[in-house]
Structures are given as C-alpha cells and as structure tokens.
Structure 1
C-alpha cells in the first residue's frame, strides 16, 4: 500500500539566497524558512536569476516539518 504524502502550500517572499538553489523565504506572518528550488525549476535552468530577493513564490511544506519547503 502506498502512502500519499500531504503538503501544505504557502505564499512566501524570497529574502536571501544561501546557495544557487537554496533560499531563505519569509511567510506573511514573519516566519522564516529554507526554500529549495524544486526539481522542475532546476531542470529548466531557473536558479538565482529567477528567484531574486523580493520575489513572491509558493512553497510546499510537510505538515511535520515547517522549517523547510520546496518552491513549486
């Protein structure tokens, strides 16, 4: 039996770049988290040029770990 992983999608703003595909994002209420560029963005060649400081993104996070997420 396959277990479906649920995710929560949240709006965030990029505030800093840690590495070319890892960013610090801030949620609307001020919480900061690591946001990692998803596989599709990396394959498409979207890296730091696409996600600049101040860019609004959608982040998918696991309900069990709200400290990091994936940019979708």
Structure 2
C-alpha cells in the first residue's frame, strides 16, 4: 500500500527552453532540474515560477504557477 503522495513546492527561474512546454529550471541554491508546464501558457526563459517536485525525483518537476515581479504566485 502506498502512502500519501508528498510534494515539495520550490521557487525557480526558467533558464532554457528544451522543447515546447519543457524547460531547464534553476533553484536559488544552483540546482538545475527539468520542469514541465501543464496548462500554463506564455512561459519563457527568465520567468520565475513555482515548481512541484517529488522528494524521490528531484531532477524533474511540474510548473504549477508563475510568479509576478513581487514574488507572488499566480496558480
């Protein structure tokens, strides 16, 4: 039996578009991961986003929100 699916939300910056809806993202500590956009349009390199990752797979995550200039998340 599986336990609840635990997710971690992290602030990141999109540094490179790999292909449509797939980006390389950088965390504040320098860690880089692959981030996939699910339904968020208008993303581009340099955007600040919120990424949801699994503790078991920290190399990839889902973009769940975009931050405005003030650091607020728009999900």
Is the aligned partner of 1:61 residue 2:69? no
Provide the TM-score with structure 2 as the length reference: 0.78
User: Residues of 1 paired with 2:2 and 2:24: CA distance?
Assistant: 32
1:2 positional shift = 6.8
Provide the TM-score with structure 1 as the length reference: 0.81
Give the superposed CA RMSD: 1.5
| Alignment: residue pair count | 64
Moved over 4 A (4+): none
1:51 positional shift = 1.2
Unaligned runs of 5+ in 2: 65-75
Greater helix proportion:
1
